[in-house]
Structure 1
Amino acid sequence: MIQEPETAPGRSMGRRTIGWISGMFIVLLALIPAAAAGAPTVIVSNYTVTPAVLMPGDEGTITVVLTSTASMAPGSPLDLRVDTGGVNTSPITPDNAYIENVLLRSREIEVLSGSFQDVGEIGPGQSLPITFQVRAPGEEGIYFPEVWVSVRDATGVRYPVPVNVGSAYALAKKPSLRVERTVPASVDPGDSFGVTLTLYNDGEASANDISVGINASSDSIASTSPESYYIPVLRPGEEAALNLSFGTDPGAPLGLLPVVATVDYRSADLAVFRQVETIGIPIVGRADMSVASIRTEPARITAGDPVGLTIRIENTGTADATSVRATIGGLSLSGTKEAFLGTIEPGNDGPAVFNLQAGEEGDYPYTLAIQYTDDYGAHTTEQALNLVVAGSDRAPALIIAVVAIVVVIAAALYWYRRRKEE
């Protein structure tokens, strides 16, 4: 029996160390592309060549639609910045893809314009159209210029676009859906609103099995109508309208809140198309001013007294009230009758202080006018109030007079008794 020579302990430990280091190196190499692959990037979700068939030497346009691959999550920010005049140095929001450049490459087709640098960020659920102006070559045929998209820290995109230059072999016709939305100019938190989506087929073939999914990405917006719609077919030039209904939370944050519409459809050859449309809902608050309390100093006003009148004005709306000013009108008492309060935030109040001089006793009706400004413009609200002035209190003087009379009578009686005794 032949025995293998024993391995020295030091050599065995050295081989284990080398093997462990090699394994870790392989794992790290595997993690690097995996991390890069997980970064958000874009895809070419649609393209259009205008005109559909170019004659040799003619000019036309190629439009591609870039769509983010990141899924829309609740609370995801919508931040799309296009900067073609310089370097965009703003930080990249997580889940946003930063498009560094978009180019059209071709040896046969001449690119007249359309080299886009530092395009900017594109967020989840967003799409961005890019248009190139081109000139067809002098020979007929079908050409495939490539769109090159470079995305920072992510996998780039290379997408060939077929271009027919006077060829008898026409390219397969395909549908092309365009989505237009009708959104209210503003929505108050807590209000319901409607949105109309209109789908147009601008392509040259029918779009079949169209399904539309509605997803309100914000917890402050809830759909009160169906969230899924199905359209069997939309022929070239046809359109279909969807009426959507939503409700908002009274505490909805102000700003542009997203609603995402995902449109899936098929062409005649069963090719699948998907496009994601983001609908921005403008949530704009409205201020609402009212009288919270009224206090006078002194509490009981008598004729001739100086009066400190404090009226607390409260904002019961959902937006800041700015340039708040309170004015007293129709009050026949002298004094200051205007107060400036500045800005009052929702749920807060502020004091309007007036210094008056009470006149004769009686009721004094007056009108408090509150002027303020919010996102909808300037407003004025009025409220009818009343100030009561009591007559002068004569009780102390009467008591003093009675006491004086009693003292005089008592002194007279005392004097009379002394004289009688004498």
Structure 2
Amino acid sequence: MVQKPTVAPRRGMGRRTIGCILCALILILVLVPAAASAAAPTVIVSNYTVTPAVLMPGDEGTITVVLTSTATGATGSPLNIRLDTGTGEANTSTEMQENAYIESVLLASKDVEVLTGSFQDIGEIGPGQSFPLTFRIRAPGEEGIYFPEVWVRVRDGAGVRYPVPVNVNSAYALAKIPALRVERTVPASVDPGDPFNVTLILRNDGQASANDISVDVNATSGAITPRNAENYYIPKLEAGKESVLNLTFETDTGAPLGLTPILVTVDYRGADLAAFRQVATIGIPIVGRAEMGIASIRTEPSRITAGNPVDLTIRLENTGTADAESVRATIEDLPLPGSREAFLGTIEPGNDGPAVFALQADEAGEFDYTLVIRYTDDYGEHTVRQALQVVVAEPSPIPAIAAASAVIVVVIVAAVFWYRRRKEE
């Protein structure tokens, strides 16, 4: 994490020296916060207000700072994330569930007297959330520009030190600068092969206009391609205003599952032509969906006759893009006795598995039944119902006729043999 330098004029420094210091500070003292630690969530000082703007020596005033949570994977700016679930409402993305725990916030200065404002165990702040803290101060006895520092300590995260300029009756006014904040709305999940939309909202929370704003959108994976432009230009964004960009992307059917990043780079200039840059990472959750159906139906024997056992084998196929887990097939409304349920476990995309049912065809007829397939994927539990039919034929009369014929032949042969023996006698 890059720490902003702290520079404060000492007592006895001339106005010309103060002016030189201010020129240097204007280039580096910006409202755009330092990058968040990649290892753990943290916060940044996204805005500040000094009241009154110019203090007289010895006067009391307040400093109000706004702490904003950083988003996971984002760098250089506070980044709020909202997820569009398709119901018109927005909720928080799964990738942004980590909270930053703020242990303490202090205002430190050797020149400006801090009257009140030592905050301990503030608690957790979630992604995209912000809240203000106010410190009461007393200006030093000499005129000049002073820079008390806001120290933020975050549990398991990167600490923050942020200088706030305080003008004590100085003839040198601090230059007002822009501060862009990026909000985004992404879908809760994207199926491979489906298009999706991303909404970017650029808000200027600074005190001056942002000029020559350039937005560059770069998909880091070849499985995601933009349907519209990759570069956008906004001539000017006034303080307190916002601009909305609607982006559309295509996905490949073979897109890898997981969080796929899209990089958004925002470049802009202030009134003094000072250049600023923010780089944000948008995580697109690629989540496959399992689709279960019937691949084939086979019976053994192939011709079912009443009075015989039969094995009914139904092969279930996953035509989706994610694993189908806990696959279970059940037969309903079939009057033939036998097994009614088969457990197949996990079936990967493009594969199939057999559901085998051992039945007893104790009567003939055409029997309608329902095959119920239950399975789970990343979207939850699913149930598929398919109407099927099995035909059981009447037993063939040929075996009975053959048996009867054999009996008759035996009787005739026996009678002939008996007759010949009687005749010989």
Q: Please, what TM-score do these two structures have when normalized by structure 2?
A: 0.68
Taking structure 1 as reference, are residues 133 and 348 closer, same or farther at Cα in structure 2, changes over 3 Å only? farther
1:114 touches 1:133 (CA, 8 Å); kept in 2? Answer: no
Distance 1:80 1:416 in 2: 102
Residue 244 of structure 1 and its aligned partner are, at CA, apart by 0.6
Distance 1:162 1:232 in 2: 29
Residue 265 of structure 1 and its aligned partner are, at CA, apart by 0.6
1:108-119 correspondence to structure 2 within 5 Å: 108=112, 110=114, 112-113=117-118
Aligned to 1:368: 371
1:43 touches 1:157 (CA, 8 Å); kept in 2? Answer: no
Secondary structure of the structure 2 residue equivalent to 1:251? coil
Taking structure 1 as reference, are residues 68 and 380 closer, same or farther at Cα in structure 2, changes over 3 Å only? closer
Residue 252 of structure 1 and its aligned partner are, at CA, apart by 2.2
Q: Which amino acid aligns with 2:196?
A: F
Aligned to 1:305: 308
1:113 touches 1:132 (CA, 8 Å); kept in 2? Answer: no
Secondary structure of the structure 1 residue equivalent to 2:293? strand
Distance 1:328 1:321 in 2: 19
Question: Relative contact order (alpha carbons < 8 A, sep ≥ 6): 1 or 2 greater?
Answer: 2
Q: Which moved more, 1:243-252 or 1:167-176?
A: 167-176
Bigger Cα Rg: 1
Q: Deviations over 1:26-48 (max 9, x none)?
A: xxxxxxxxxxxxxxxx6699963
Aligned to 2:49: 50
Residue 312 of structure 1 and its aligned partner are, at CA, apart by 2.6
Residue 207 of structure 1 and its aligned partner are, at CA, apart by 0.9
Aligned to 2:137: 136
Taking structure 1 as reference, are residues 217 and 301 closer, same or farther at Cα in structure 2, changes over 3 Å only? same
2:51 touches 2:63 (CA, 8 Å); kept in 1? Answer: no
Distance 2:100 2:204 in 1: 31
Which of these residues, 387, 397, 404, is aligned with residue 384 of structure 1? 387
Aligned to 1:163: 166
1:339 touches 1:354 (CA, 8 Å); kept in 2? Answer: yes
1:183 touches 1:281 (CA, 8 Å); kept in 2? Answer: yes
- The alignment of Structure 1 onto Structure 2 pairs a total of residues equal to 349
2:401 paired with 1:402: no
Aligned to 1:178: 181
Distance 2:105 2:218 in 1: 30
> What is the percent sequence identity of the aligned residues?
61
Taking structure 1 as reference, are residues 182 and 254 closer, same or farther at Cα in structure 2, changes over 3 Å only? same
2:45 touches 2:65 (CA, 8 Å); kept in 1? Answer: no
Aligned to 2:299: 296
Residue 191 of structure 1 and its aligned partner are, at CA, apart by 0.7
Aligned to 1:124: none
Secondary structure of the structure 1 residue equivalent to 2:408? helix
Residue 229 of structure 1 and its aligned partner are, at CA, apart by 0.5
Q: Please, what TM-score do these two structures have when normalized by structure 1?
A: 0.68
Q: Which amino acid aligns with 2:300?
A: E
Aligned to 1:217: 220
Aligned to 1:35: none
Aligned to 2:204: 201
Distance 1:219 1:114 in 2: 47
1:61 touches 1:134 (CA, 8 Å); kept in 2? Answer: yes
Q: Deviations over 1:85-105 (max 9, x none)?
A: 89xxxxxxxxxxxxxx99975
Aligned to 2:246: 243
2:237 paired with 1:234: yes
Q: Deviations over 1:159-204 (max 9, x none)?
A: 7543345756431111111111111121111110011111112222
2:218 touches 2:230 (CA, 8 Å); kept in 1? Answer: yes
Residue 320 of structure 1 and its aligned partner are, at CA, apart by 3.1
Distance 2:375 2:309 in 1: 29
2:45 touches 2:162 (CA, 8 Å); kept in 1? Answer: no
Residue 227 of structure 1 and its aligned partner are, at CA, apart by 0.6
Distance 1:413 1:224 in 2: 96
Distance 1:353 1:335 in 2: 11
Q: Which amino acid aligns with 2:257?
A: L
Give the root-mean-square deviation of aligned CA atoms.
4.1
Secondary structure of the structure 1 residue equivalent to 2:138? coil
Taking structure 1 as reference, are residues 275 and 103 closer, same or farther at Cα in structure 2, changes over 3 Å only? farther
Taking structure 1 as reference, are residues 226 and 103 closer, same or farther at Cα in structure 2, changes over 3 Å only? farther
Q: Deviations over 1:219-242 (max 9, x none)?
A: 322212111001111112222111
Which of these residues, 274, 280, 283, is aligned with residue 280 of structure 1? 283
Taking structure 1 as reference, are residues 346 and 359 closer, same or farther at Cα in structure 2, changes over 3 Å only? same
Which ranges in structure 2 are unaligned for 5 or more consecutive residues? 1-33, 37-43, 77-94, 122-127, 154-158
Distance 2:384 2:349 in 1: 16
Taking structure 1 as reference, are residues 341 and 83 closer, same or farther at Cα in structure 2, changes over 3 Å only? same
2:105 touches 2:118 (CA, 8 Å); kept in 1? Answer: no
Residue 64 of structure 1 and its aligned partner are, at CA, apart by 8.2
Distance 2:313 2:66 in 1: 65
Which of these residues, 330, 338, 341, is aligned with residue 341 of structure 2? 338
